[in-house]
Amino acid sequence: AQRVTQPEKLLSVFKGAPVELKCNYSYSGSPELFWYVQYSRQRLQLLLRHISRESIKGFTADLNKGETSFHLKKPFAQEEDSAMYYCARGLGRGYQKVTFGTGTKLQVIP
Amino acid sequence: NAGVMQNPRHLVRRRGQEARLRCSPMKGHSHVYWYRQLPEEGLKFMVYLQKENIIDESGMPKERFSAEFPKEGPSILRIQQVVRGDSAAYFCASSDRVLEQFFGPGTRLTVL
């Protein structure tokens, strides 16, 4: 079964400090990996996906197949980054089901 | 495109009543997913449907919960004989062929 593990329920950092939200996935072929974000009182939305290799709002995530990880990073945290972050994976090969991790709440302290 | 719509946004039921939650996917999307978010917890997968078919219901409780996505009309998540533990936010998402899921605003169910 596919698994997505986010080991931290809560991550608190000071404004301006680097951020790393951890995500590990169970190995199975060529996964598709995503990060979703849910700001307070807003709907969940896609932040970035590994296939596009882009940086959104200063966040990046690199797929490490050797460590089966897809950690989300940002060099300098901003207060507006405070939100719930979910790592997710698809099976690839066009299979539609996506499995979400349990989420990490990022709290940026002013 | 109005995005994924869910209604009602808030639903209050007494123990033993039925709750019906509706989800209208984005135009052109034929895949619908339901998730439950308990207070202070993460998103938990419940069921994945395509038009007229349940593809994966591995996250659905075995009793009282059912889901459908008819050929016409919205997807429905139905909870019979609700209990206090069913109080949660229920989110629906839809997708087309490219895997990105677009989420609705959620329905907050409160069971008194």
Encode pLDDT of A29-64 as tens digits: 777 889 999 998 888 999 998 877 778 899 999 888
Token readout for A105 is 């709440």
Of A6, A44, A96, the CB nearest to B99: A96
Is the pLDDT assigned to residue A9 strictly greater than 80? yes
Q: Is the model more confident about A97 or about A36?
A: A36
Q: Which regions of A17-100 does DSSP assign to beta strands (E)?
A: 19-21, 24-25, 32-38, 45-49, 60-61, 72-74, 83-90, 98-100
How much is the pLDDT for B66? Answer: 97
Whether the pLDDT of residue A77 is over 60: the answer is yes
Q: How far B71 CA sits from the closest chain A CA (Å)?
A: 19
| DSSP-derived pairing of the beta strands A10-14 and A104-109 | parallel
A-interface mutation test, from B23, B98, B101, most A Cβ less than 10 A away:
B101
